Structure 1
């Protein structure tokens, strides 16, 4: 628990994932000359033929942006009278199925399902909640919150309140409101005042005034927090998450899938660079040695190339 709080405390968010909405640092781009109808024909042939052609599923679904995949889903349903998600679930299984379903799910809905799973599983999975809420922009958190309400009929913060407690809960709930300052300007005087306030709330007192820490860490912009020297970047944090998910006892596929799909259009290039810097090997080679089959092939496509 302490290390989850530590991650939240240090991490919060990075300017790239907050303020950059372009796909400049992603590995997956929109496909030029995209025609949903052509992709639907290829997918149906791959699914309805004798034995699913997994290679086609990988090529089509990892070679399009999420927005394009949504258009494929719509065209697929019109052509086949069934949803692509249902057909993928019926025709593939295990981690590969989970990955394909993640690829064709709108990002906010995918986040929503991951939050529901983290809350409702046996014991709340704090690491998953930390990862999601600390690495999404205000806009993404708002979309996630809306999706959660539509999906469950309850407010997300209401459900979180019943599952997490203490300072961790306070921090998580502030992040879940999606009200972080997203400006990239830095006010050195304010940074100095904040650093002083944190010092006084912590070092100088018997007991620590956690509310002051939480207020400053959750509401300031990241460049502002960096000025105070208390934040690691999201790509570095996610690189660590990926490393731990491949190096533990058995690979944690759900973490691999969530990060590789979720960041493929955002900052995968930065994550790859941090991974190499931190662990001395490339993310690509790590995925290659730790995963297999069509699941591994799809992850490698999302990773892009070897560093």
Structure 2
């Protein structure tokens, strides 16, 4: 079955949100005429009155940029002597509380919270670790590591090492260093050579040399890897993703496929994750929250477009039919519109 991931025709010209972060494709923008003390007064009224005015909380916290929300938190603390986070915790519950608290963190603090949840307790949530480290730029990974150090006093790499192992662990640790090559020039000869190395390490031999895959996919720049994907298909007649899926299994397969998908299109990868979180019985609210909050000022417009292309319905309508209540309202406001 052909999938969106097999089509490489537009690959070399499409924008790359891994190395060129911009806020132009976000759904959440700065509010013009922003006044933090007005917002603080409205938030206090919503929280301190009898019963909480959820609509007011949603209107303010989903319709300000993250930078503006940081100013609101500061002004709130100055006005009340309490933190907005503590007051929200006392006043809201469940997934609704979770998304509001996510919105008032900086992007790095939010990634840090999600990372800490993924490694906490018995068993590690590998799918979360894979999603975060495959889709973030070096700058975002560095910011996450700094936030982790500030929060725990420990190095993120050190703590991650004790959570993961094997070839999968090696790949994840390389990504978590945040040192992917960021050059934009493409060396066509090197792409051809890398494609050949990958073919010889996988399809061509009995047993797979995983280290070659990890080394190339975790270190090369995105434009370079895109060229390599094209060369690989020219050389073997298969996409690299198809080869990885037939040669590998478990978390190593999952992380390498995620890297290849993010190299092609982070928005399409995120659209797929969102769809998986809503399909079947039960919704994985934590995935919805993480993607909608973390991408709302980066590329959520592109994620919406990819969602429509992949699934034939708008992301907005999928959320509306899957998630109700205040949490659902928050998600719809972040989504920004129906396509």
Q: Residue 101 of structure 1 corresponds to which residue in structure 2?
A: 101
1:206, distance to aligned residue in structure 2 (A): 2.8
Match of residue 241, structure 1, among 251, 273, 276:
273
Matched, 1:202 2:208: no
Structure 2 CA distance, aligned partners of 1:183 and 1:236? 23
Matched, 1:274 2:306: yes
Where does the alignment leave 5 or more consecutive residues of structure 2 unmatched? 1-13, 230-239, 241-259
Query: Residues 16 and 222 of structure 2 are in contact (CA less than 8 Å); yes or no, is this contact kept in structure 1?
Result: no
Shift of 1:64: 0.5
Distance 2:15 2:219 in 1: 14
Q: Which residue of 1 aligns with 2:40?
A: 40
Instruction: Report the equivalent of 1:147.
Output: 147
State the distance in 1 between where 2:226 and 2:161 align: 29
Structure 1, unpaired ranges of 5+: 1-13
* In 2, Cα distance between equivalents of 1:82 and 1:170: 43
TM-score of the two chains, using structure 1 as the length reference? 0.93
Question: Is the CA contact (8 Å cut-off) linking 2:148 and 2:155 kept in structure 1?
Answer: yes
User: Deviation per CA, 1:246-283, whole angstroms, max 9, x where unpaired?
Assistant: 11321110110000000000000111111111111110
Distance of 2:304 and 2:63 partners within structure 1: 19
Distance in 2, matches of 1:99 and 1:153, equals 26
Match of 2:113 in 1: 113
Q: Partner of 1:17: helix, strand, or coil?
A: coil
Q: 2:318 aligns with which of 286, 301, 306?
A: 286
Aligned pairs for 1:225-264 within 5 A: 225-229=225-229, 230=240, 231-232=260-261, 233-264=265-296
Q: Distance in 2 between matches of 1:291 and 1:141?
A: 30
**Match in the other structure for 1:57:** 57
For residue 162 of structure 2, give the secondary structure of its aligned residue in structure 1.
Answer: helix
What count of residue pairs does the alignment treat as equivalent? 294
Q: CA deviation at 1:33?
A: 1.2
What is the RMSD of the two structures over their aligned residues, measured on CA atoms?
A: 1.3
Change (3 A) 1:268 1:104: same
Q: Tell me what 2:232 maps to.
A: none
8 A contact 1:276–1:282 mirrored in 2? yes
Alignment match, 2:84: 84
Q: Which runs of 4+ in 1 moved over 6 A?
A: none
Alpha-carbon distance between aligned partners in 2 of 1:203 and 1:49, rounded to the nearest angstrom: 65
Aligned equivalents of 1:258, 1:248: Cα separation in 2: 19
Give the conservation status (yes or no) of the 8 Å contact 2:29–2:64: yes
SS at match of 2:17: helix
Conserved in 2, the CA contact under 8 Å of 1:182 and 1:221? yes
State the Cα distance separating 1:17 from its structure 2 match: 2.5
TM-score (norm 2): 0.84
CA contact (8 A) 1:18 1:182 kept: no
The answer for the alignment partner of 2:177 in structure 1 is: 177
The answer to whether residue 251 in structure 2 is matched with residue 219 in structure 1 is no
2:218 and 2:278 map into 1 onto residues whose CA distance is 30
Q: Once the two structures are superposed, what CA deviation does each residue of 1:75-129 show, in whole Å capped at 9, x if it has no partner?
A: 0000011000000010010110000000001111111111111111331000000
Q: Are the counterparts in 2 of residues 202 and 209 from structure 1 also a CA contact under 8 Å? A: yes
Q: Cα deviations across residues 181-229 of structure 1 (Å, max 9, x unaligned)? A: 2233322211111101111222333322211111100011112111122
Which of 159-168 and 178-187 deviates more? 178-187
2:130 corresponds in structure 1 to 130
